Amino acid sequence: MKNFDSRTYSINDFLEWSNSGQLELNPKFQRRSVWTDTARSYLMDTIVRGKPIPKVFIRQKLNVQTRKSIREVVDGQQRLRTILSYLKDGFVISKKHHPTFGGLFFSQLNQADENIQSSILNYEVSTDLLVNMPDSEILDIFGRLNSYSVTLNEQEKIHANHFGPFKTLADRVAHSYNSFWIDNKILSDKEVLRMADVNLCADLLIAMIEGIKSKKQIKSFYASYEREFEHDPVDLESKFSSTITTIQGIFGTDLKETEFKRIHIFYTLFTVIFHLKFGLPGNDKARLNITEQDFARVESRLENINSIFTTEEPQQLNATEVRFLEDSRRATTDKAVRERRTQYLIDIILQ
Q: What is the pLDDT of residues 45-102, one digit of tens each?
A: 999 999 999 999 999 888 788 788 889 888 889 999 999 999 999 999 999 899 999 9
Evaluate if residue 1 carries a pLDDT over 60.
Answer: no
Mean pLDDT of the chain: 90
Q: How confident is the model over 202-259, as pLDDT tens digits? A: 999 999 999 999 999 999 999 999 988 999 999 999 999 999 999 999 999 999 999 9
Question: CA-CA distance, 3 to 5, in Å (whole number)?
Answer: 7
pLDDT tens-digit map of 32-44:
567 889 999 999 9
pLDDT at site 339: 94
Q: Note whether 225 and 165 are within 8 A (CB).
A: yes
Taken in order 85, 86, 87, 92, is the CA torsion positive or negative? positive
What confidence tier does 327 reach under pLDDT thresholds 50, 70, 90? Answer: confident
Q: What is the DSSP string of 68-86?
A: EEEEEEEE-HHHHHHHHHH
Q: pLDDT by residue (tens digit) across 68-83?
A: 888 988 888 999 999 9
Whether 150 has a pLDDT exceeding 80, the answer reads: no
**DSSP-based three-state secondary structure for 296:** helix
Which range (110-124, 149-163, 164-178, 299-313) has the least confidence?
A: 299-313
Return the half-sphere exposure (C-beta side, CA atoms, 13 A cut-off) of residue 107: 5
Confidence of residue 316 (pLDDT cuts 50, 70, 90): confident
**Centroid of chain to Cα 56:** 23
pTM: 0.81
Q: Has residue 196 got a pLDDT over 70? A: yes
Identity of residue 302: L
